[in-house]
Chain A
Amino acid sequence: MSTEQTALPADNFFNQGGKGLMSWLTTTDHKRIGLLYMYSIAIFFSVAVILGLLMRLELIAPGKTIMEASTYNKTFTLHGVIMIFLFIIPGIPAVFGNFFVPLLMGADDVAFPRLNLMSWYLYIIGAAIALSTLVFGEGSADTGWTFYAPYSVKTGTNVSTSVFAAFVLGFSSILTGLNFLTTIHRMRAPGMGWFDMPLYLWSTYATSWIQILATPIIGITLLMIIAERALGVGLFDPSLGGDPILYQHLFWIYSHPAVYIMILPAMGVVSEIIPVFSRRRMFGYKAIAFSSLAIAFVGYLVWGHHMFTSGMSGPARIIFSILTFLVAIPSAIKVFNWLATLNKGSIDLQPPLLYSLGFIFLFLIGGLTGLVNGALATNTHIHDTAFIVGHFHYVMFGGTGFGFFAAMHYWFPKMYGRMYNIKRATRAFWVTFIGFNILYFPMFILGLEGMPRRYYDYLPEFQGWQVVSTVGSWILVTGLIMMFVNIIRGARKGKPAGDDPWNGYTMEWETSSPPPLENFHQAPVFKKPTYED
């Protein structure tokens, strides 16, 4: 890093505000906090990927391959908990949101910088608690990341600790959302009205509202699980007047909107990238902005589709099915607007756009198979099968994951002031993309054939596609390694990228790369961007 340092502007936030670990651990600079999140998320993501690889390896053949059933159950639980609570939910908002929300609106920081740092500490504490279950006590929970009662109340494994970790992480997520909402309300640069905001800010705004209003419900639900495990009083026990299905309601009241916490920021990223690389203003700006809010709101109304076979009442099944179909509409609107923006543009297929188009394709598959889940008849068949596993990996990993990678490749030169190797990035994309499809597509077929999820062992007739899927996991991981190696090399030795390598329009490109501590050299004033140059 040192030899090339001269090529970058000297007054960047890496140099300013102190050096050394302590200066990072006590920073209130939103850019540094964003990077702190990025480094910690990268570590947890890798752990969860390894767990996923091990699970796939176990499933390559029926019967025991590399681990016992109990180990397998703990593995998929921990894989889920880490991926959901430590990677996908905080992923884009905490890394790119922290770094770019203030920059996109020409502000010098978020509204509550110290609170922002506290959120990161809560995140790390939560993560430490979650991972501590690996080492201490009776081992990590074996309930699945859904912690369904009554199993989660009965099992001897360390559910309380895992649940408490999720509680702490939820708190971190709430505070991040609170910070962004206030920032967006109060700190936009002079002249930037609500409908001048970059679309990423709209998606962050919608996401933050979900974080604020849905997360407390899971918090209290998880506390109830802890109380039930400690006191054993039958909070969800029907013989005492309780109801195990109520737990599922409470869990999904949060966890379904949480799906939109995961996907909306990725949609925002794609809405930033597509106009820049097709050299034209976003088609239907308002439609995209409003569809983000619509997704956030309708997202509160559809949780019941996780419970169509749970014994919920008939009318509830029907209502939730209709509402579920309605939530597809705003997503469809977004896709059409993205397409219309590409049409007649002047397209430059750089890695960020490539990842965005990959996002659209994978998200389409995820979203369209979601329609199969939303219909009552087909849901009955594929609920809790590998089809669902395929579906949500397409949405969560294909959608949010690829959105994350798109954001990483798009904003990387602004964050580090350097550029990664474009050719290698393209190559890594294709390996990742192909591996992804080989890994997850077979799950749809397995599910339709009747292979339930969370199965340690399976009937021999399922083996063919399981092998294909496992091979896919190796290709996918190869692609991921290629991508990260390229990114890390870029950060250390890449060529200086200049302030605006993509010729972007939004305010973050007006400042130097990496930005100075105070973000802008002089207080910026918002001007309507001129897109078509």
Chain B
Amino acid sequence: MTKETKHNPSILENNGLPEFERDYFCDARPEQSRPLAKYIEKFLNWARANSLWLLGFGTGCGAVELRPLMTARYDMYRYGIAPRPTPRQSSVFIIGGYASVKTTKRIIRSYEQMQQPKFVIALGSCPINGGMYWDSYNTINRIDHYIPVDVYIAGCMPRPESIIAGFDLLKKLIKEGQAEGANKYIENLDWYKANQKKIIKDWNMPDYNW
């Protein structure tokens, strides 16, 4: 991954929007968030790790594997995991397998609307290297070019058990303070935006959604 230190001025002027809509959206760069003092942050991270609200946005086949998690057999609630219907309140975004360009656009919008700190789990082969849809004209090959990903789960699709294992790893990362994907995203915003704009041809949305 290349890290650009100089900011690209061409983004964040909401150029993709029609003139009359630009005023509705902020065009200031998002700011990185700083962790608090060591022990307080550690305590908060413990709380974050045990209260994972995931965004109920089934982006691919993986959506179907999330349903069993809610059932009595797996009962994800006992791990502090609960689905939320809105990105505003969610802290975990699960990329449920393949993402078409059209979906990717929505994924980016939803991801940006989540409040920091936020975490991403990529489910299955497709987000890693294209999976079954590796040669499709309309499906991206690797999600980490568009949003930062914390945990990958191999499988096509992974069983619910694997997803629980993925959450376990995510919890570990959060507790260790390593799940700083949101900051990474803001730090490399120009790179991510360039990648996103390469595939999303009709950029009729704000450059960054708060």
Are A and B co-members of a single complex?
no
Interface residues of B (CB under 8 A from A): none
Task: Show the binding face of A for B, using Cβ within 8 Å.
Answer: none
